[in-house]
Amino acid sequence: MSGSKIVSPKCNTIPLDDDLLMLKDEVTKELTMRILPFWKSLMDDEDGGYYGYLSYDLQLDRKAEKGCILNSRITWFFSNAYTLLKDKKILKEAEHAYAFLRDKCIDREYGGIYWSLTHDGKPLDTTKHTYNQAFCIYALSSYYEATQDEEALKLAYELYDIIETKCRDEVGYLEAFTRDFKPESNEKLSENGVMADKTMNTLLHVFEAYTELYRVTGDEKVKERLCFILDLFADKIYNPEKKRQEVFFDANYNTILDLHSYGHDIETAWLIDRGIEIIGLQEERLVAEDVKTQPIYRHYYDKLTPITKTLTKQIYEVAFDGNSLANECDRGVVNNLRVWWVQAEAVVGFLNGFEKEPDARCYRDAALAQWEFIQAHQIDRRPGSEWFWATNADGTPDEGRPIVEPWKCPYHNGRMCMEVIRRLG
């Protein structure tokens, strides 16, 4: 499948104005002048990969564990930044990140990617989590696009086969495993006092990874799994009565907690739209090349678009205060922390909502207001820093949170910048 043409998402469909052009200019500067230099500064030339912890006080721990999710996301980030900006210096960063992922993070004995490593690249937490396998596929697919390195694509397919043979059942995708893929409890992606057999979060990021793999290969078997997941979101994950996704489930996708994750809903809305768009673009390519394909784009567009529009509208109405997005609502109690990734996804999600519904200018205005909040409060303007992990609703930083840790990465805010640049290009 590596000979297939790589398709890119459509862009330039948003009606532009001076404010949106200014948004593009400002996020371009944020990407090139803050986020990229910050993560470049964390390169570990001695032990490989990137340093895993920077405290709120900007103290770098060179001996901290290196999360494999963090290193997958860094590989994805530099690969995509190179594809967008065509700066060879960025490609060098992607190559450095990929080498650590390939040589240290992936388990050559049992397959799959570890949860974390010691600072010098030895296995530390050998849990094999489906969520983690997915992010490595996401990174390897993007690295393949940037470099055409067939080895990266081969590794992506090995992880794809692991997910499909070891990490799912007939109902959907499973969660946590031991190093040799025996099932274990899902502490890593369970929270809020429940232990989940299946989660919306893992399913979403398997979908995201498969979208990227399908985009760069056009592989029909990956397309089939995308369709399976789209049906799961529509039929099991989405709650039409509450106009939201459920988050934590038992083995049969029965919800086990009254939780509304605002950030995941706005992120899901645009990621599902993107996945369906990629299916449509690949079908267009095959038709143009007179290749037979099963035309399913229109079916899934019609089935999922009302859901993604509703998710966007609901988040705008219940979670957005005119400036920023609250975190979540757990059993009726709203968590008002302004978490970095939630704010970043809100910019993309509202911009996507405006792209899908140009008459809904409230989404345009929300994306712009959200970016203003980020500029004023989420960005940490201290020299040598990047974004705060979280701020309070009034914009004051949560000083108990580090600037870098295994989950705090350039994936959400870096992707936000790149999505804005592409959509407003």
Q: Could you give the residue ranges of the DSSP H alpha helices within 196-296? A: 200-217, 220-232, 262-288
Interatomic CA distance for residues 288 and 308, integer angstroms: 29
Local structure of 43: helix, strand or coil: strand
The reported pLDDT for the residue numbered 292 is 81
Interatomic CA distance for residues 392 and 326, integer angstroms: 9
Residue 2 lies in a domain: no
Residue 13 lies in a domain: no
Q: What is the pLDDT along the chain (425 residues), one digit of tens a residue?
A: 445 679 988 765 788 999 999 999 999 999 999 999 999 999 999 999 999 999 999 999 999 999 999 999 999 999 999 999 999 999 999 999 999 999 999 999 999 999 999 999 999 999 999 999 999 999 999 999 999 999 999 999 999 999 999 999 999 999 999 999 999 999 999 988 999 999 999 999 999 999 999 999 999 999 999 999 999 999 999 999 999 999 999 999 999 999 999 999 999 999 999 999 999 999 999 999 988 888 899 999 999 999 999 999 999 999 999 999 999 999 999 999 999 999 999 999 999 999 999 999 999 999 999 999 999 999 999 999 999 999 998 899 999 999 999 999 999 999 999 999 999 98
The reported pLDDT for the residue numbered 12 is 58
Interatomic CA distance for residues 270 and 169, integer angstroms: 27
CATH number of the domain bearing residue 168? 1.50.10.10
Annotate 239-266 with DSSP letters as a single string.
ETTTTEE--EE-TTS-B-S-EEEHHHHH
Residue 119 lies in a domain: yes
Indicate the pTM of the whole model: 0.97
Residue 7 lies in a domain: no
Residue 11 lies in a domain: no
The pLDDT tens digits of the residues spanning 82-117 come to: 999 999 999 999 999 999 999 999 999 999 999 999
Q: Please tell me the total count of domains within the chain.
A: 1
The partner residues of 330 in beta bridges, in order of sequence, read: 259, 333
Residue 387 lies in a domain: yes
Interatomic CA distance for residues 405 and 397, integer angstroms: 17
C-alpha distances (whole Å) from 337 to each of 14, 221, 326, 328, 401 are: 30, 41, 6, 9, 12
Q: Position of tokens 């596929």?
A: 137
User: Phi and psi at residue 154, in whole multiples of 5°?
Assistant: -60, -45
Domain assignment of residue 340, given as a range: 18-423
Interatomic CA distance for residues 309 and 290, integer angstroms: 33
Residue 227 lies in a domain: yes
Residue 278 lies in a domain: yes
